[in-house]
A and B are shown apart, each in its own frame.
Chain A
Amino acid sequence: MTRDRALKRAADMDQRTHLEIGARPFPSPHKMFSAIRAYLLRRSEDINRKNNPIQLLKFIESNGVASIVLGPGIDKGPTPQHFHFDSGARLSFGLILRERDGGSQLVEFRYHYQLPDQLPASPSPGYFRFDLNKAPHTDPLSEPRCHLHPGLEDVRLPISLHDPFEILDRIFFVLEKSG
């Protein structure tokens, strides 16, 4: 019974996320792409590592659904396509938007912030990944729609819905600065 109640609460949370997505319109996918690139260009000026967001950030769309990506889809080690931080950490992400009423709506995202390689005994979590799933999972308790992986693939902690810039804010101004 307790788990059933927990599942119900988790499902309610997913429903709130769903409603919030519908209530948060964004500019058109192309404008979002341009604004994210401008954001990354600004951040690049603040760090010593050389990154070229103009080459790193990519855009593709099909039938009113747009994908904005940076770096590999699956982090298997550093690549020239990652955004690299002074700490040695690296960032890759993917964001999907659907065109709607001249603007767009969030469909899903995945922001993977990989901490620098640590010694085996290090307390570092290894990585943080912010995910927004396209749809609710059948087990919303284990996999909330909007969640954070604290360095563990099977652990998904629910988080409030963040927009694409709010996640970048946390990565650039919180996670990276605390490294």
Chain B
Amino acid sequence: MPDFSSQPFVEIAQRLEVQGAHSWLAILSSGGDPTAACDDLGTELESLLQMPVRVVSLKSSSFDRLREQLHQPEDDTVILFASADLEAGEWSSLDTMRSALERTGPIVLWIAPDAVAQLTQLAPNIRSFIGSSIFLAGPEPGIMSDKERENRLEELRQHYQLSDQEIVRRAKAKELPPEPHFVEWLVLLGRGDLV
């Protein structure tokens, strides 16, 4: 399998936005919960493209059913979910119905990394729609790192001249001041239960 670049969903959404209508793109994702990951991708696409997003499964979907799903409506974003157990015949059928897959809204094909070979061999026309727009699902860049978390905690400790232990003690005693910063402090300490 060739090396594909890893991109977070937000940057994939930006690429899709630049590509505009009728665009195709494929995301390779392995591990984790694919349903949750598809939801995360859908959230990013909706936020950035400002249009509805649907997830459509390719498994056991008939030609007529798939065509109907992609064209009613045909201007939203569709994530075509190809499960890891998609069989050779299903890939070939998908390729046969390539004309029916053409639509105004963008399509994101969600596949496992080891399915790229099947895509290339059994669905060459779909593969040509996608072109070079194949990306590995990358980590979310917005998740606060441990270093960033520690830097924020230190900023709060210095500003208020209070320790983490004192903040937890006051939260338990319901003695924290009401102004912003102290709830964030608890979240940074992993003590959202005290909010």
Please indicate the chain B residues that have their CB under 8 angstroms from the CB of A34 in the complex: 10, 43-44, 46-47
Binary contact track B174-195/A, C-beta < 8 Å → 1, others 0: 0000111111101111111101
A-B contact count (CB 8 A): 111
Q: Which residue of chain A lies nearest to B143 when distances are taken between CB atoms in the complex? A: A59
- Give CA–CA (A134, B183) in the complex, Å: 8
Residue among B11, B141, B159, B189 having the largest count of chain A Cβ atoms under 10 Å: B141
**A133 is an interface residue with CB less than 8 A from chain B:** yes
**A167 is an interface residue with CB less than 8 A from chain B:** no
Q: Are A58 and B148 in contact (CB under 8 A)?
A: yes
Q: Are A65 and B179 in contact (CB under 8 A)?
A: no
Binary contact track A106-117/B, C-beta < 8 Å → 1, others 0: 011110000000
Given contacts A34-B44, A136-B178, contact A65 B143 (CB under 8 A): no
- Give CA–CA (A153, B192) in the complex, Å: 28
Q: Are B10 and A107 in contact (CB under 8 A)?
A: no
Q: Are B190 and A62 in contact (CB under 8 A)?
A: yes
**B15 is an interface residue with CB less than 8 A from chain A:** no
**From residue A33, how far is it (CB to closest CB) to chain B in Å?**
6
**B144 is an interface residue with CB less than 8 A from chain A:** yes
**B55 is an interface residue with CB less than 8 A from chain A:** no
Given contacts A34-B10, A60-B144, A69-B152, contact A94 B180 (CB under 8 A): yes
Given contacts A54-B142, A64-B192, contact A134 B187 (CB under 8 A): no
Q: Are B184 and A96 in contact (CB under 8 A)?
A: yes
Q: Are A73 and B11 in contact (CB under 8 A)?
A: no
Given contacts A61-B192, A63-B192, A65-B192, contact A73 B141 (CB under 8 A): no
**A89 is an interface residue with CB less than 8 A from chain B:** no
Which of A5-13, A35-43, A169-177 is near enough to bind chain B? A35-43
Q: Are B48 and A65 in contact (CB under 8 A)?
A: no
Q: Are A134 and B155 in contact (CB under 8 A)?
A: no
Please indicate the chain A residues that have their CB under 8 angstroms from the CB of B47 in the complex: 31, 34-35, 37-38
Q: Are A37 and B142 in contact (CB under 8 A)?
A: yes
CB-CB contacts below 8 Å: A113-153 with B: 131-137, 143, 145
The 7 closest A-B pairs by CB, nearest first: A62-B192, A63-B192, A65-B192, A38-B47, A110-B180, A60-B144, A135-B178
* A38-B47, A65-B186 known, 6 other contacts, Cβ within 8 Å: A34-B47, A55-B141, A59-B143, A73-B181, A109-B180, A133-B179
29 A-B pairs with C-beta separation under 8 A: A30-B43, A33-B142, A34-B10, A34-B44, A37-B10, A37-B47, A54-B11, A54-B142, A59-B140, A59-B143, A61-B187, A61-B192, A62-B187, A62-B190, A62-B192, A65-B183, A67-B183, A73-B181, A107-B183, A107-B195, A109-B180, A110-B180, A110-B181, A131-B180, A133-B178, A133-B179, A136-B178, A137-B178, A145-B178
